[in-house]
């Protein structure tokens, strides 16, 4: 009995001791599982981190490639801009040469200085300035736009005086279009407006000798002197310099204006439909003149004006601009917008074709050629002074 009790007691003790051991083993097992889970998560994070690194590396590579492409694009744009400037300069030079050729073709008493044509009167000499005014009127065509030379700045004054004195060395002075008739010693252009620069008076001038020296001559050294306007006091007979007032006034309106073969033209870069473009042209030539859509009547004017317009609207590559012809009155019969049959045509091959059945207005297209277009579209236009 005693042995059995001892044995039973022993097993009871062992049983009681086994319970906490199993519990600890369970806890250890759970901890091990948690550790294994953390290890797995860590390994997965490492994989994700590596993937992120690869993605970042790819993005960096893509960014560098984009930077290189952007730099190349900038260089291409810069090269294109330089080409435009170079070609624009070449075209401007060619135009200037053409304008000079047209000026000099008028006769051997014409000179071309700083983009303007001047006439030098060396045959009809005048002792008083007023007699030379009328003489200038018809020197640039029947429009009567000629007037005595009115230097707009000191550069023009000096350049014209230098060229004229070099070309006509027999003379040392020329009458120009300046006077103080309205107010003594307040010098104005004959056309109006005070002189906007310091007048380069000759030593001792203005002297108003005899009380009637209200007009001006320029010496070959570019200095000015006051001379009589209306009274002949026996002074030396003088040649005179004339300028084309219409051309000067046209070009003074802005960079969108050009003067071609005796006519002023304007390039409208804002977008209008055909009807609004016609109305818009009326208001771009000052208070004393009206305008209309450009109506080409010869090849030279057509080409020069359209080429100027195409350069003016750069960097736009859309060369379509409304011009003043349409067949709104009778389908297939194009007339000038102000009326009358066309005296000159320059349609592109296959035009006008009235594609779509609604192409009733003319536009520039493919260089200096023309195309028929829908009148409702909005685009630039070319105007001419009436």
Q: Render pLDDT for 91-100 as a digit per residue (tens, 0 to 9).
A: 555 566 778 8
CATH number at residue 353: 3.10.100.10
C-alpha to C-alpha distance for 113 and 241, rounded to whole angstroms: 12
- Which among 313, 305, 306 is positioned nearest to 268, based on CA atoms? 313
For 49-77, give one letter per residue: b (16+ CB within 10 A) or e.
eeeeeeeeeeeeeeeeeeeeeeeeeeeee
Contact between 133 and 240 under an 8 Å Cβ cutoff? The reply is: no
Residue that finishes a domain, picked among 225, 249, 273: 249
**Are 239 and 284 in a shared domain?**
no
**Integer angstrom CA distances of residue 122 from 129, 167, 210, 223:** 14, 11, 27, 20
* 280 and 379 Cβ atoms separated by less than 8 Å: no
Domain end position, chosen among 222, 249, 276: 249
Q: What is the pLDDT of residues 228-252, one digit of tens each?
A: 887 665 556 889 999 999 999 999 8
Q: Tell me: do 200 and 85 sit in the same domain.
A: no
Q: How far is CA 123 from CA 86, 132, 154, 172, 310, in A?
A: 43, 11, 27, 15, 42
Tokens of 56: 């970042």
Q: What is the pLDDT of residue 295?
A: 98
User: Which of these, 227, 214, 237, 219, lies nearest to 165 by C-alpha position?
Assistant: 219
Same domain flag for 179 and 285: no
Residue 6's pLDDT band, with cuts at 50, 70 and 90, is: low
Same domain, 236 and 131: yes
**pLDDT of amino acid 84:** 46
Cα angle 134, 138, 141 (rounded to 5 degrees) comes to: 165
**Do 240 and 272 fall within a single domain?**
no
Q: Which of 249, 273, 290 is the last residue of a domain?
A: 249
Bigger pLDDT: 35 vs 215:
215
pLDDT tens digits, residue range 61-89? 777 777 777 776 666 655 544 554 454 45
For residue 42 the two structure tokens come to 């860590």
Same domain, 97 and 119: no
Per-residue pLDDT reduced to its tens digit, 251-294: 989 999 999 988 999 999 999 999 999 999 999 998 888 999 99
Same domain, 97 and 58: yes
- 241 with 136, same domain: the answer is yes
Predicted local confidence at residue 315, as pLDDT:
74
Q: Encode 213-226: b = buried (16+ Cβ within 10 Å), e = exposed.
A: bbbbbbbbebbbbb
Q: Cβ(110)–Cβ(117) under 8 Å?
A: yes
Domain span at residue 89 reads 1-105
* Tokens linked to 44: 């997965």
93 with 115, same domain: the answer is no
Q: Quote the percentage of the chain above a pLDDT of 70.
A: 84
- The count of domains in the chain is 3
Q: Within this chain, do residues 90 and 19 fall inside the same structural domain, yes or no?
A: yes
Residues 364 and 268 in one domain: yes
Q: Verify that 271 and 219 share a domain, yes or no.
A: no
In angstroms, rounded to a whole number, what is the distance separating the alpha carbons of residues 46 and 270?
61
């Amino acid at each position: 009995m005693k042995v059995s009790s001892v044995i039973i007691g022993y097993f009871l003790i062992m049983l009681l001791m086994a319970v906490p051991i199993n519990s600890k083993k369970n806890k250890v097992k759970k901890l091990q599982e948690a550790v294994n889970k953390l290890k797995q998560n860590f390994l997965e994070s490492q994989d994700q981190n590596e993937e992120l690194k690869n993605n970042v590396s790819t993005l960096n590579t893509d960014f560098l490639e984009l930077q290189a492409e952007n730099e190349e694009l900038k260089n291409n744009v810069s090269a294109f801009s330089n080409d435009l400037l170079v070609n624009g300069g070449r075209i401007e030079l060619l135009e200037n040469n053409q304008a000079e050729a047209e000026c000099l073709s008028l006769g051997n008493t014409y000179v071309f200085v700083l983009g303007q044509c001047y006439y030098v009167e060396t045959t009809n000499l005048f002792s008083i300035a007023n007699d030379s005014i009328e003489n200038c009127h018809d020197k640039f065509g029947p429009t009567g736009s000629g007037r005595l030379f009115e230097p707009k700045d000191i550069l023009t004054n000096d350049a014209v005086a230098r060229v004229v004195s070099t070309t006509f060395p027999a003379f040392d002075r020329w009458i120009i279009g300046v006077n103080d008739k309205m107010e003594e010693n307040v010098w104005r252009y004959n056309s109006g407006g005070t002189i906007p620069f310091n007048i380069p008076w000759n030593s001792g001038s203005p002297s108003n000798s005899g009380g009637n020296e209200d007009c001006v001559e320029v010496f070959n050294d570019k200095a000015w002197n006051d001379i009589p306007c209306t009274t002949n006091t026996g002074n030396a007979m003088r040649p005179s310099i004339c300028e084309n007032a219409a051309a000067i006034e046209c070009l003074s309106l802005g960079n969108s204006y050009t003067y071609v073969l005796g006519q002023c033209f304007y390039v409208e870069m804002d977008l209008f439909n055909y009807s609004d473009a016609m109305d818009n042209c009326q208001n771009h030539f000052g208070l004393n003149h009206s305008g209309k859509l450009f109506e080409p009547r010869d090849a030279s004017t057509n080409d020069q004006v359209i080429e100027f317009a195409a350069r003016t609207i750069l960097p736009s590559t859309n060369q379509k601009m409304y011009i003043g012809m349409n067949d709104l009155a009778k389908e297939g019969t194009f007339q000038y917008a102000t009326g009358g049959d066309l005296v000159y045509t320059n349609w592109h091959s296959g035009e006008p074709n009235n594609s779509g059945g609604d192409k009733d207005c003319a536009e520039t297209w493919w260089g200096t050629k023309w195309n028929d277009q829908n009148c409702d579209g909005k685009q630039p236009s070319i105007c001419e002074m009436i």
